Amino acid sequence: MLEIPLITTENFITYALNGLSRGMIIFLVASGLSLIFGLIGLINFAHGAMLALGGYGTYVVIQATGNFWLGLVVSVLLVSLLGLALERKVLYWIYDEPLLGFLSTFGIGLVIEEALAVYFGSRSYTVQSPLSQSVEVLGVSYPSYRLFVILVGAAVALGVGLVLVKTRLGLEIHATANMQSTAEILGVDTARIYTITFVLGTALAALAGALTAPITSMYPTIGLDYITMAFLVIIVGGMGSFKGSFVVSMIVGQVIAFGWLVLSPTYVRILVFAAAMVFILYKPRGFFGKAEVHE
């Protein structure tokens, strides 16, 4: 029988905030993956490796300069440039070949993970939090860095969400995703939209890696842990739905945070995936999935 510990108000707030911080990291990974799939139709198995690069890049810059914030910016920029190069030189030419795209991104991910393992070894690395003090939130003392992660995730959700619904770029992304031929006739540079979306998705994964470095140990295959959860999120939230990625990420974050009270992390993951499978049986398109649009 499971023994459920007594939860005080202070503990409840702490676990809820932990769920938010974890959910925001999952959201950053899942939203990038969702944007790429929603527009391009590419299941990017190299996405987790981009997260790992973001984390390790931050670690390397910190070792050289002692500055976390510089490490965060530099790692996100460099990984984004790598994403740009991969999209322009490799992936752009195989978007119409789903199997080849799957094999290519899977291979790219493996190469990156093996390169990290060869260079850094199999042991894990940790990064010291740049915000070591705590702040009071709803009467509870809470680590300021985790609160920073929550705020960054919320800012990204709001910023990208506004771009998608309020700007010309957002309209062009939606048009390219739903009616590419019509968009091209209307003068939309769909190749440019593909590139922007892929680089943005890659940047979000790198940002997730950089932000998670002070929270958890970094190891070469850390991206696999996050990408499996990210795939679950985008399927349950609705393939290609940015809003769905956010909502489901927040739910999953809370389930994980409170689930750890009574179950081991492994069993919590099993519970999350089992619940997702049952949900998908009844709602295959997810929470916010839409019917396909045909030209």
CATH number at residue 118: 1.10.3470
Instruction: Check pLDDT > 90 for residue 25.
Output: yes
Beta bridge partners of 142: 135
The domain in which residue 90 lies consists of 9-123+135-282
- Run of H or E residues at 134: strand 134-137
Is 289 part of any domain? no
Is 231 part of any domain? yes
Please say whether the beta carbons of 54 and 207 come within 8 A. yes
User: What is the rounded distance in angstroms from the CA atom of residue 267 to the CA atom of residue 275?
Assistant: 12
Instruction: Check pLDDT > 60 for residue 145.
Output: yes
Question: Quick one: pLDDT band at residue 90, thresholds 50, 70, 90?
Answer: confident
pLDDT at 246: 93
Is 49 part of any domain? yes
Is 128 part of any domain? no
pLDDT at 289: 67
Q: Which residues contact 115 (CB under 8 A, 6 or more apart)?
A: none
Please say whether the beta carbons of 53 and 181 come within 8 A. no
Q: Which residues contact 27 (CB under 8 A, 6 or more apart)?
A: 153, 156, 157, 233, 245, 246, 249, 250
Please say whether the beta carbons of 239 and 34 come within 8 A. yes
Is 166 part of any domain? yes
Is 130 part of any domain? no
Instruction: Check pLDDT > 70 for residue 5.
Output: no
Domain count for the chain: 1
Is 142 part of any domain? yes
Is 160 part of any domain? yes
User: Taking every pair of C-alpha atoms in the chain, what is the biggest distance, in angstroms?
Assistant: 63
User: What is the rounded distance in angstroms from the CA atom of residue 214 to the CA atom of residue 71?
Assistant: 12
Q: What is the pLDDT of residues 148-184, one digit of tens each?
A: 999 999 999 999 999 998 999 988 888 888 887 888 8
pLDDT at 293: 43
